[in-house]
């Protein structure tokens, strides 16, 4: 600067001084601001920064599995792909003028890829949220189309879409036990049946996980999560046997189709433990396809429907009379030749009788005999006995919607005519489950057990969280009384008893039929054409292994419990015993496992049972392997070409038990028309549509 003009050099020094001053002031401002941000307000700004770069995710664990008693899965969770979008990332850097056109284009392309309406997609994208579901549970083709849209090598790629695995409930056996299992909504919450009642146990523990976002908003985890097995939902092991459940549902559905019933239910119980082996309800539904199911089909009728039990209640009236020493097994009861008046009500018997023993009262189902026993016991003691057998109270099964039934109307005592009516099952209401547990109490020497549906619950690590052993609620009657009633019930399935169709070949069978008239809600009176047919019983009578209650509501072809419900009991009981390896003395268990290994165990067992039920054996009495036709044999009517209804009526009028296979008109029958068969024999009808 020595060579410069002094005035110019002085001016340069002034400018440099001014510049240094300004730089000093700026540096001071920066230092002051930095001090304020990092020191004075450091915690506040640090928290804001963490919020901007971190996300808190609630990780939903895998829902627990529901198994049957043998470890066969009935409800499982599988991972299926779903598509979400980060709309902020998709339209990053797009100005407001171009945004509408970009929204329209992206909506059209995404809508075509996912097969959804473009307007629906546009509405979601226009909200500009960091996370939005575009479509849940997509197909493999839709996944491929979304990946193609996001491929940077493609023209105008769309960023911000993510394909994420999402849990979906899957029921591998489709409609099997559907009303009992319930279903799960798309958000993973149980909405009916066991899925609802045990939702807290099955869904597991929702864990909060922290993650970091990069500049593009993509998420990666900064902290590890716990062991997934520790977070997973609990597994539930039921007492239900898939094989027995399958048989019960198949036979119930066949009986409903044969007799044109409105609905039905079956409960199969192990009377020694109270464990439910089958809980069947028809009509049923497929929990995998809940959108197409009928609301009425979701009802678990075995626990939600209450009905007048009719003559099945006579079992417990008899137990009350024996316990109160009102009668004895050898004492005769005068049954008034079929008609008895109480107050202004006349009681009738289907079988007109004079003197009957208590065993005969049950065998031919005398209303008058039961009414006299009930009146002899007295209103209070009869009511208390019914209560001790579990009627009028819930069993507290872990299922929603269970009814308690009704004993006394509005809690007041019965008058004399009501006591008589209650003795043979009118004026009170019960559920199928209550009947099954009550007859189980007779089978296990008077002990009323707590019904067990859930055997145990385990966590994701296999540790047992809860276990339900056999539990006695109370003693309903003494062992001696229960034993006497058991022996009386054998007479119902033998000789002239009303339940001979329930007798299981090779075993002594104890049971009771019922044909209960239904009340017309409009008039409050009993109808002449609407009935509830039922049968309860257990087998073998001397060492019971299964107790079964069968209920069919409003059968149309015929309505007698001995014709409609008793055969269902026999087939379910026979199959259940064979499935459990229980055979008559001198025989060996059937090799179920050797049949069709490609089929599931339930289908194996059922198909084997059907294959061993030879139609030609049905035309002979069960206790005669090769006896020639007797003088009581009848010629089987030829019903070929007839529709199902006409064929059923024709065979029932002859005293045969028709069994339908298929739909439409009869194309074949076994035994053939004109063959000789004993009354009560089964006639197989094979139908085809369009014939």
The CATH number linked to 672 is 3.30.10.20
Q: What is the pLDDT of residue 689?
A: 64
Residues 24 and 103 in one domain: no
Q: What is the pLDDT of residue 449?
A: 96
Question: Has residue 606 been placed in a domain?
Answer: no
What angle in degrees, to the nearest 10, is found between the helix axes of 367-377 and 314-323?
A: 40
Residue 617, phi-psi category: left (phi > 0), alpha (psi -120 to 50), beta (remainder): alpha
The answer for residues whose C-beta is within 8 angstroms of residue 315's C-beta and 6 or more apart is 362, 438, 439, 442, 485, 489, 512, 536
Confidence of residue 617 (pLDDT cuts 50, 70, 90): very low
Q: What is the pLDDT of residue 638?
A: 87
Confidence of residue 592 (pLDDT cuts 50, 70, 90): very low
Mean pLDDT, rounded, for 482-495: 93
600 vs 595, higher pLDDT: 600
Q: What are 278-315's pLDDT values in tens digits?
A: 999 999 999 988 888 888 889 999 999 999 999 999 99
Measured CA to CA in angstroms, residue 517 lies from 15, 424, 461, 628 at distances of: 114, 12, 53, 40
81 vs 172, higher pLDDT: 172
**Res 538 pLDDT > 50:** yes
Q: What is the pLDDT of residue 612?
A: 44
**Res 99 pLDDT > 50:** yes
Question: Has residue 588 been placed in a domain?
Answer: no
Q: What is the pLDDT of residue 56?
A: 52
CB 247 within 8 A of CB 572: yes
Mean pLDDT, rounded, for 236-262: 93
Confidence of residue 486 (pLDDT cuts 50, 70, 90): very high
Question: Has residue 51 been placed in a domain?
Answer: no
H-helix or E-strand spanning residue 606: helix 601-612
- Parent domain of 163: 57-238
Question: Has residue 538 been placed in a domain?
Answer: yes
Residues 638 and 512 in one domain: no
Domains held by the chain: number: 4
Residues 113 and 179 in one domain: yes
Residues 568 and 442 in one domain: yes
Mean pLDDT, rounded, for 535-551: 95
Residues 623 and 563 in one domain: no
Closest C-alpha to 128, from 158, 82, 92: 92
Mean pLDDT, rounded, for 420-426: 94
Domain termination residue (choose one: 579, 604, 627): 579
Tokens of 245: 């459940």
Q: What is the pLDDT of residue 344?
A: 84
Tokens 């009118």 correspond to what residue? 426
Which has the minimum average pLDDT: 50-64, 189-203, 531-545? 50-64
**Res 606 pLDDT > 50:** no
Residue 198, phi-psi category: left (phi > 0), alpha (psi -120 to 50), beta (remainder): alpha
Closest C-alpha to 281, from 260, 306, 295, 302: 302
CATH number at residue 499: 3.40.710.10
Residues 34 and 78 in one domain: no
Let me know if 31 is exposed, middle or buried by CB neighbors in 10 A (0-12, 13-18, 19+): exposed
Residues 229 and 350 in one domain: no
Residues 404 and 308 in one domain: yes
Question: Has residue 290 been placed in a domain?
Answer: no
Residues 151 and 208 in one domain: yes
Q: What are 331-373's pLDDT values in tens digits?
A: 999 998 889 999 888 998 888 888 999 999 999 999 999 999 9
Mean of all residue pLDDT scores within the chain: 83
Residues 539 and 619 in one domain: no
Residues 12 and 90 in one domain: no
Q: What is the pLDDT of residue 559?
A: 86
Positions marked active-site: 311
Residues 557 and 429 in one domain: yes
Question: Has residue 168 been placed in a domain?
Answer: yes
Q: What is the pLDDT of residue 69?
A: 93
Question: Has residue 597 been placed in a domain?
Answer: no
CB 352 within 8 A of CB 338: yes
Which has the minimum average pLDDT: 53-67, 169-183, 339-353? 53-67
Question: Has residue 525 been placed in a domain?
Answer: yes
Confidence of residue 45 (pLDDT cuts 50, 70, 90): low
Confidence of residue 161 (pLDDT cuts 50, 70, 90): confident
Q: Are strands 73-85 and 66-67 parallel, antiparallel or unpaired?
A: antiparallel
Which has the minimum average pLDDT: 5-9, 375-379, 405-409, 575-579? 5-9
């Amino acid at each position: 600067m020595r060579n410069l003009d002094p005035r110019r050099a002085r001016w340069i020094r002034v400018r440099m001084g001014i510049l240094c001053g300004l730089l000093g002031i700026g540096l001071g401002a920066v230092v002051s601001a930095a001090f304020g941000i990092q020191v004075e307000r450091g915690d506040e700004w640090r928290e804001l920064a963490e919020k901007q770069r971190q996300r808190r995710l609630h990780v939903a664990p895998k829902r627990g599995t529901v198994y049957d008693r043998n470890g066969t899965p009935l409800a499982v969770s599988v991972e299926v792909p779903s598509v979400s979008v980060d709309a902020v990332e998709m339209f990053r850097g797009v100005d407001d003028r171009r945004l509408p056109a970009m929204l329209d284009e992206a909506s059209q392309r995404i809508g075509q890829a996912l097969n959804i309406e473009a307007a629906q997609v546009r509405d979601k994208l226009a909200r500009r949220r960091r996370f939005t579901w575009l479509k849940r549970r997509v197909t493999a083709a839709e996944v491929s189309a979304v990946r193609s849209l996001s491929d940077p090598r493609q023209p105008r790629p769309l960023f911000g879409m993510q394909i994420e695995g999402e849990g979906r409930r899957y029921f591998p056996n489709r409609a099997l036990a559907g009303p009992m299992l319930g279903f799960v909504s798309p958000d993973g919450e149980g909405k009916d049946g066991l899925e609802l009642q045990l939702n807290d146990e099955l869904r597991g523990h929702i864990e909060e996980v922290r993650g970091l976002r990069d500049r593009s908003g993509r998420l990666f985890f900064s902290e590890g999560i716990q062991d997934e097995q520790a977070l997973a939902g609990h597994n539930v092991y039921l007492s239900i046997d898939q094989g027995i459940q399958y048989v019960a549902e198949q036979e119930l559905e066949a009986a409903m189709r044969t007799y044109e019933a409105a609905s039905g239910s079956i409960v199969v119980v192990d009377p020694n433990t109270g464990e439910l082996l089958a809980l069947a309800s028809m009509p049923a539904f497929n929990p995998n396809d809940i959108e197409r199911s009928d609301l009425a089909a979701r009802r678990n009728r075995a626990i939600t429907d209450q009905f007048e039990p009719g003559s099945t209640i006579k079992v417990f009236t008899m137990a009350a009379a024996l316990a109160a020493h009102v009668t004895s097994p050898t004492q005769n009861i005068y049954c008034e030749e079929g008609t008895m008046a109480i107050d202004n009500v006349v009681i009738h018997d289907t079988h007109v009788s004079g003197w009957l023993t208590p065993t005969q009262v049950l065998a031919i189902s005398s209303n008058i005999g039961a009414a006299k026993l009930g009146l002899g016991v007295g209103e209070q003691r009869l009511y208390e006995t019914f209560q001790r057998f579990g009627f009028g109270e819930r069993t507290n099964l872990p299922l929603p919607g269970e009814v308690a039934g009704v004993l006394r109307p509005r809690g007041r005592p019965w008058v004399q005519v009501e006591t008589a009516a209650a003795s043979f099952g009118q004026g009170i209401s019960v559920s199928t489950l209550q009947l099954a547990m009550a007859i189980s109490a007779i089978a296990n020497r008077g002990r009323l057990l707590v019904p067990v549906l859930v055997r145990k619950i385990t966590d994701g690590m296999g540790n047992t969280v809860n276990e339900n052993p056999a539990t006695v609620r109370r003693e309903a009657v003494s062992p001696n009384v229960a034993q006497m009633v058991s022996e009386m019930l054998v007479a119902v399935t033998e000789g002239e008893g009303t339940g001979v169709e329930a007798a299981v070949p090779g075993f002594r069978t104890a049971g009771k039929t019922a044909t209960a008239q239904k009340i017309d809600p409009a008039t409050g009176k009993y109808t002449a054409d609407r009935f509830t047919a039922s049968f309860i019983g257990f087998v073998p009578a001397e060492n019971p292994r299964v107790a079964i209650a069968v209920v069919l509501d409003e059968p149309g072809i015929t309505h007698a419990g001995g014709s409609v419900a008793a055969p269902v009991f026999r087939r379910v009981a026979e199959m259940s015993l064979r499935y459990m390896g229980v055979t008559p003395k001198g025989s060996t268990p059937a090799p179920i496992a050797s049949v069709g290994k490609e089929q599931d165990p339930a289908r194996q067992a059922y198909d084997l049972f059907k294959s061993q039920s030879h139609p030609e054996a049905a035309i002979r009495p069960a206790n005669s392997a090769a006896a020639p036709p007797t003088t009581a044999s009848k010629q089987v009517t030829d019903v070929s070409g007839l529709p199902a209804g006409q064929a059923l009526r024709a065979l029932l009028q002859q005293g045969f038990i028709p069994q339908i296979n298929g739909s439409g008109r009869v194309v074949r029958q076994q035994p053939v028309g004109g063959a000789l068969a004993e009354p009560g024999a089964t006639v197989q009808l094979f139908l085809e549509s369009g014939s």
